[in-house]
Amino acid sequence: MIKGYLNFVLHGHLPWVLEQGTWPHGENWLWEAAAETYCPTLSMLANLFEQKGYTELLTVGITPVLAEQLSHPKFKDGFEGYLQERIEASFKDKDHFKWIGETATAKLAQRWVDYYSSVKQQYTERFHKDLLGGYKYLQDSNVIEIISSGMTHGYLPLLGKEETINAQIKAGQAIYHKHFGRENSQGIWLPELAYHPEYKWKNPLTGEEINRKGIEYFIEKNKINYFIVDTPLLRGGEGIGAYLKRFDALQLLWKQFENEKPELVGTGDSIYRPYLASKEVDFFTRDDKTGILVWSGDIGFPGDEWYLEFHKKHWPSGNRYWRVTGKETDLGEKEIYNPEKIIERLDENSKYFVKIAKDNLLNYYNQENSPGIVVSPYDFELFGHWWFEAIGFLERVLTQITEDEEIATTTGAKYLASYPSRSEKIISLPEGSWGEGNFHWIWLNQDTQWCWKYIYECEKTYLEVVKEYREKYHSDFDNITRIINQMGRELFLLSSSDWEFLISTWGARDYAEHRVTLHYENFKKLNQLFKDACTNPLTDQQMQFLKKLEEEDSIAYAMNVQEWFVIQD
């Protein structure tokens, strides 16, 4: 008898990097994530289904901007070339280590040769250069549920106009339908799990005040059934924080905001069941007890001394040959990786994770006499990329739970279909996110205010331009339509929450600042192009500029972007 369910939610997201640099920042991010996370996880899940018949295993979030990149011809061809480069670089490492007499490290280099060769074989032969098609196959086979997100992961509580909040969600549904075939994604990953309720909001920079609707209004309007929030938004208190320990710059920034953080007061309700956010929309709550086991590098599994050290890499290949060793161990003192210890550590860690999840579920069942649900959401890229062994961990957890007689894996939509909200009471959630302090400071601070100034300016301008476009018919209508749609793409890309995050963490600050400036300038040039095209035909030079942007920033290519910014009654 099943007394409870576990729902892993793996949130896959990267900003638009195609045609925007390669190394150290840009397209390499996409190649790395595909090689270490997206492709091997797809292969693992397909194996569990095809070899063991496992279904309803977990939920995969694929943001629209990530889906658009994984389906792009430049990615499909470039990824194969990247894998071949990694194979050749690993061979060179092997030869080097053999030459200097480091036999153990040479064997690890051969492991990298084998690893990248395997991923290349999976990608080209098993999945036919179509990772999205592979995930769609798992969705259609009832192995996973795929959920969408905001178009470019815009930070919804800070966007200045309700039309742009709605556009992020509405565009996400359109891209989901485009790639995964179904009319609507039943669930949504709110970018950074950031939520705001209905209230009179004052723009933090412009001072404009608007009576804006809660995020659940736009979720319901776009026919989405559920979303996920961090634990403190339901229960109060403080969350585990998803990023602070990973970035030194955030720890310095946090000291400036720690005394200003809002104190979230919760309901005291259980996190192991869904609740109503509106009459038609449910929400699930992140389980902090299982969450910290995977998120934390201090007390969680990724900090295990035997796992692969993420931060130390061999030059020039970039391969990793060292283990964590100890959380206080300097990079120069890291010890050589020992693959023979990994199976033992994965077995122990996965069993402990399952025990914690099962104990929580059985406790809930004994109290409520109904199966509850542990929702464990993570950045997808944590599995395989940040924590290299995590896909093996995930496979073990899924297998152990599937073979358990009292608990099972599931997805959000499957659970709601069997166990809908048992109360008509609507829970009023506070404003917050899963960032440190459960608020907005990572994305809005003294270092990022200028980004929001640009966003607010472009939001206002774009809504005015769309209004004029829809009310007037211009002689050069086809080209004007192209301009308007490209302006929408630039606004989407400008609004990515990644840029503020990278600026605050110093993870790739120069790159992020360049991207914000680039999309802002592109938007302004397009706005001038719109004004020119309303009175005169475009020149060849102007047409070349438009075509160049359409090729470089081709998210939602050939789709009528401007329609997403109009809220229909």
All domains of the chain in start order, with CATH: 4-71+130-438 (3.20.110.10), 449-565 (1.20.1430.10)
- Read off the tokens for 336: 């050589």
DSSP state of 285: E
> Structure pTM?
0.94
Catalytic residues: 192, 379
Adjacent-strand bridge partners of 59? 9, 145
Of 203, 292, 278, 238, residue with least CA distance to 429: 278
The per-residue pLDDT for 531 is 92
Q: How far is the CA of 329 from the CAs of 62, 146, 285, 304, 312, in angstroms?
A: 35, 39, 35, 12, 12
pLDDT by 10s per residue, the chain, length 569: 999 999 999 999 999 999 998 888 889 999 999 999 999 999 999 999 999 999 999 999 999 999 999 999 999 989 999 999 999 999 999 999 999 999 999 999 999 999 999 999 999 999 999 999 999 999 999 999 999 999 999 999 999 999 999 999 999 999 999 999 999 999 999 999 999 999 898 888 888 888 999 999 999 999 999 999 998 888 765 655 555 455 554 455 445 545 555 665 556 789 999 999 999 999 999 998 998 899 777 778 999 999 999 999 999 999 999 999 988 899 999 999 999 999 999 999 999 999 999 999 999 999 999 999 999 999 999 999 999 999 999 999 999 999 999 999 999 999 999 998 766 688 888 888 887 667 788 898 889 999 999 999 999 999 999 999 888 866 567 899 999 999 999 999 999 999 999 998 888 999 999 999 999 999 999 999 999 988 888 999 999 999 999 999 999 999 999 999 998 76
Adjacent-strand bridge partners of 432? 195
On the CB side of 483, CA atoms within 13 Å amount to: 27
Exposed e or buried b for every residue in 40-65, given b needs 16+ CB within 10 A? bbbbbbbebbeeeebbbbbbbbbbbb
The per-residue pLDDT for 269 is 86
The per-residue pLDDT for 250 is 45
Of 177, 175, 198, 173, residue with least CA distance to 188: 173
The per-residue pLDDT for 253 is 47
DSSP state of 10: E
Q: In whole angstroms, give the CA distance from residue 448 to residue 501.
A: 9
- Using the Cα atoms of residue 245, residue 249, residue 250 and residue 253 in order, give the sign of their dihedral: positive
Residue whose token pair is 């909001």: 201
The per-residue pLDDT for 245 is 54
Q: Could you please report the per-residue DSSP string of 252-276?
A: HHHHHHGGG---EE-----SSS-EE
The per-residue pLDDT for 240 is 58
Q: Could you please report the per-residue DSSP string of 431-452?
A: SB-SSGGGSSTTTSSTTTHHHH
